[in-house]
Amino acid sequence: VQTSFDGTPTFLALPAAGEAQNASAPRQQRRSRQELRALNERELIFELVKDICNELDIRMLCHKILQNVTVITNADRCSLFLVHGDRDSTERCLVSQLFDVSCQSTLEQVRYEEVRVPWGSGIVGYVAQSKEAVNIPDCYNDSRFNKSIDLRTGYRTRCMLCMPVFDRDGEVIGVAQVINKKDHNGHDVFNRNDEKVFSEYLQFCGLVLRNAQLYERSELENTRNQVLLDLARMVFEEQSTIEQVVYRIMVHMQALLECERCQVLLVDHKTKTTFHRVFDLEAKDVLKDDMSCCTSPYEGRFPINTGITGCVVATGQIANIPDAYKDERFDSKVDEGGMFKHKSILCIPIYNAGRLVLGVAQLINKLNGEPFNKNDEQLLEAFAIFCGLGIQNTQMYEKVVKAMAKQRVTLEVLSYHATAPLDEARKLSECMLPSTQSLKLQDFKFNDFSLDDDGMLTACLRIFLELDFLNRFHIEYTVLCRWLLSVKKNYRGVSYHNWRHAFNVGQMMFAILTNTKLHEVLGDLETFGLIVACFCHDLDHRGTNNSFQIKSSSPLAQLYSTSTMEHHHFDQCIMILNSQGNQILSHVSPAEYTTIIRVVEESILATDLAVYFRKRGLFFKLVENKEYQWNNGDHRELLRNMLMTACDIGAITKPWEVQRVVADLVTMEFFQQGDMERQELKIQPIDMMNRDKQDQLPAMQLGFIDSICLPLYRAFSRIHERLGTLLEGVEHNRREWQRLAEARLAAVNGDQNGPGDGEADKRRAGPVAVL
């Protein structure tokens, strides 16, 4: 790290002298000293101004100025001091840019020796403070003269002319000093004419010098920005652990600000007494091969409510302490018993994006022995912004990693409890399986309530055997039994969306595929995926729909913004498929596995009626125009999606006695959701779920049939003639609902049939009409 004209640290090497020269102004050959001496005063000043006007490199410019000064004043030596520090700063001083330059010396020969002169001290300090020139004929008789420099260099200073250098605003930016007049006529002191020409030339020098300083400042600012961008990339490129991120931060801090020691102390706001983690890095540690000592933090050993670091955490203010032992907040006991001694300290808070203090960064003892300055504060403050964001992101990443680990453990526990016991699977595997015909599994009018739990399980096994899935996909029979038991176990005991509904959907799919030979069109993989999707499509249903999840801001709604429950059903399906002892896909190839899972996911998501409404237009158009081609993958996917809806609402096609009971169960579940919305969410449920509107059920059922069911089953009846049975079932049930709706309307309007006939209509309607 080098320092610019005003003390600003630079992070890359400054350009070599002359490299900053404006490319559009090529360097001209300078006149010799004899040629310059031959010019008159006006021509001389003009020539010397031309010599410096295009120079942008500070050191080269200062060297030219000083050499030109020796020409116009005929001085033996000269020096130039530039102002460092702000106007109101107590640290303001003058620093020699070039010292003891002679007329013959080149820039490479000049010794760069930094001499710091306090503001107002000595001759140079007095000139800067008073803004007045000083002409001293005999330096040793002036009390302000510092003789120690002559003693150190061996050069004797006789006379001196010292003048301030102003910028265009009249501010002092430096002090030029010429020493020992050389005059062959015996006039060995600087006269009034020397003062005049020196002052005139310095007016131009001040303007040129300020331009060069502004140019260098812009270059350094650009470099600073580039370095901070590199630091940001370094901080964010790998957010594996806090230890690694903080270590990289400390290494870069130490390299940029060149200090003996760097510390990062992190805060845990749950712990009120000590810092949560403390990282410490000494300059000598950077060279070690084993960095484990630097990346392993001290845990909970440093008090947070005392000392300099505690003050910075509490106040959020930067602490820049030139002498630690003179600061009452410093605890000198930390240096006892060790070789390290605190001298200067720079401590700054580290914030996150929400301006909450994450910790502090503390730098100790600059390597050059000087205290930390304002530029160090500004650099560290800029760096701390990136540090805070990097630490915050890493902390968030660590929390996510922990959350994922907890989730894996939770899933393992849930998987264990959600999986059916092996002995139950073995027991099921020993059961005799009725035939497909005796179970009426291919019958479109299959009674949804004809089988008990065991009967539904054996019917599922028969479906798998009938479609030859066990041989085709090498499924172990006991594994299949356990998978079915686990699927059944993961359905809740809600009124309608339970295991019986899942089985009935699977039975309807089996009946459609086998009666129409569509399973041959779709192939084994897609048929297998459809059957699995049917049995799993409502896993872990809670008896409430997607709208309720969103209204109640449930965790499921936070996970999935669309098709909330359907995504959850699919996730549960995958969990069971991956559970030990339930892996019915363990023997399929990777390509087959990908295809089956894709079909399962698409099919389960297709049971969301919102998806049905979005896709059915294209399906109806293909069917109406007979443009469907089942060898087209997109057309087959559309067919599978519509099949899932047709099977999911398949109860509408069943005999009236079955349809009536199913409607009863669906209505019961809807009313329970409506009660929850009214009681828990304090909102008015829609009519379909409003128990107070139950007498409008027949009319609502007609709307459901007309808008959703009839268009779908009409389309399927055009695909295959045997599917016309489904359409006939829907039309028959519509007539029944129409009769109930008319009976209710007649009762409302005081129909002439009298109360007796109305009661008879209610009895014929069964539970649905009187719910």
CA–CA separation, 154 vs 266, rounded Å? Answer: 55
737 is in an annotated binding site: no
Burial grade of 255 (CB within 10 A; 0-12, 13-18, 19 or more): middle
Q: In one letter, which amino acid is 675?
A: D
CA-based angle 664:668:671, to the nearest 5? 135
Token pair 């490129």 is at which residue? 237
Helices (H) and strands (E) in the chain, counts: 30, 14
Q: Give the ranges where 282-342 is alpha helix by DSSP (H).
A: 292-295, 307-315
Which helix (H) or strand (E) segment holds residue 599: the answer is: helix 590-605
Q: Is 95 helix (H, G, I), strand (E, B) or coil?
A: strand
CA distance 117 to 94: 5
498 marked as binding residue? yes
Tokens 């130039």 -> residue? 80
**253, 361 Cβ separation under 8 angstroms:** yes
Of the listed 497, 519, 568, 569, which one is catalytic?
497
Please state whether beta strands 134-136 and 298-299 pair in parallel, antiparallel, or not at all (unpaired).
unpaired
Contact 144, 123 (CB under 8 A): yes
User: End-to-end distance of the chain based on CA atoms, in angstroms?
Assistant: 84
Amino acid at 477: Y
Cα separations (Å) of 142 from 145, 158, 188? 6, 11, 17
Indicate the SS3 state at residue 280. strand
- CA–CA separation, 448 and 654 (whole Å): 9
User: 104, exposed or middle or buried, with CB in 10 Å at 0-12, 13-18, 19+?
Assistant: exposed
Q: Is there a binding annotation on residue 500?
A: yes
The neighbour count for residue 5, using CB atoms within 10 Å, is 21
Q: Is 701 annotated as a binding residue?
A: yes
Query: Which residue matches tokens 């009214």?
Result: 678
Q: Is 537 annotated as a binding residue?
A: yes
How far apart CA 181 and CA 159 sit, in angstroms, is 7
Query: CA 152, CA 149: separation in Å to the nearest integer?
Result: 5
* Cβ neighbours of residue 611 closer than 8 Å, sequence gap 6 or more: 563, 566, 605, 641
Residue 615: count of CB within 10 angstroms of its CB: 16
Apex 117 CA angle, 363 and 134, nearest 5: 160
568 is catalytic: no
Say which residues have a Cβ less than 8 Å from residue 372's Cβ, sequence separation at least 6: 257, 320, 322, 344, 345, 346, 363, 366
Q: Output DSSP code: residue 11.
A: S
Is 569 annotated in a binding site? The answer is no
**Is 541 marked within a binding site?**
no
Residue recorded with tokens 């004929």? 137
User: 357: which DSSP letter?
Assistant: E
Rg (CA), the chain: 45
Give CA–CA dist 600/595, Å, rounded: 9
Residue 94, beta-bridge partner list: 83, 117
Q: Which residues contact 269 (CB under 8 A, 6 or more apart)?
A: 356
- Tell me the C-alpha distance between 138 and 133, whole Å: 15
**Cα torsion through 137, 140, 143, 146, rounded to 10:** 110
Q: What are phi and psi of 549, to 5 degrees?
A: -60, -40
Which positions make up the binding site for AMP? 497-501, 538, 648, 701
Which positions make up the binding site for Zn(2+)? 501, 537-538, 648
Which positions make up the binding site? 497-501, 537-538, 648, 701
Q: Catalytic positions, please? A: 497
